[in-house]
Amino acid sequence: DGGITQSPKYLFRKEGQNVTLSCEQNLNHDAMYWYRQDPGQGLRLIYYSQIVNDFQKGDIAEGYSVSREKKESFPLTVTSAQKNPTAFYLCASSKSLWEDLNTEAFFGQGTRLTVV
Amino acid sequence: AQKVTQAQTEISVVEKEDVTLDCVYETRDTTYYLFWYKQPPSGELVFLIRRNSFDEQNEISGRYSWNFQKSTSSFNFTITASQVVDSAVYFCALSEAAGANSKLTFGKGITLSVRP
């Protein structure tokens, strides 16, 4: 089945540790996104990538890093510099917005990160 | 800069009532797309509808209908004869500016509770 896979579903880390969240898609989509969801805050864009080896900062990129070495993969690293990392993280992909806005984003099931 | 406002945060209705979820957007572009997504308790966002800026026709899909009005920059979503399964968080989103900086921006979401 085609889709987006985020792993793991639940993740616990100690404060001060970096942690990497996985996002893989087999939809042959060019664009990929990472969003953070907090209660009452909606979805806030962390990073996005329109093409391999290129990515852009979103609205809340501080304390996060990404890479886009392969079309199907867009891992997100939550670094120790992120002051409030506990949240629900959603990855999404879409056909390239570079060429065509007429495309919806498909979402993974999310990773709930808890830092203790 | 693009912005999506969902002023309602929580709505509670009794089953079979009609309910309208409001969405107001801001954009400088003349070409853009608007979306509605549903997030059930499982966490994954489900795409509901896409509407481009040049098509102001209202759309109906079963119990769901959407009213797009450029004059008021609004894209409201109505559920007719609501059901308990409609309980979820609903997000409105906007994409604009095809190109390297194109991205999806979401509102803060509306939590809909439908009581039996």
**Is residue A99 less than 8 Å (CB to CB) from chain B?**
yes
pLDDT of residue A41: 80
User: Strand locations in chain A, DSSP E?
Assistant: 4-7, 10-13, 19-25, 31-38, 42-51, 54-57, 64-66, 76-78, 87-94, 106-107, 111-115
CB A43 within 8 A of CB A34: no
CA distances from A41 to A19, A44, B9, B107, B108 (A): 23, 7, 10, 9, 5
CA distance A44 to A63: 14
What averages of pLDDT result for each successive group of 10 residues across chain B (116 residues)?
Answer: 92 97 93 91 89 83 92 95 96 76 84 96
**Three-state secondary-structure class, residue B85:** helix
Between chains, do A101 and B102 touch, taking CB under 8 Å as contact? yes
Cβ contact, residue pair B47, A105, below 8 Å: yes
pLDDT one-digit tens code per residue, A20-59: 999 999 999 988 999 999 987 889 999 999 889 999 999 9
Residue B81 C-alpha, separation from nearest chain A C-alpha, in angstroms: 26
Cβ count within 10 A of residue B96: 24
Whether omega before B40 lies within 30 degrees of 0, making that bond cis, reads no
**Chain B residue at shortest CA distance from A54:** B100
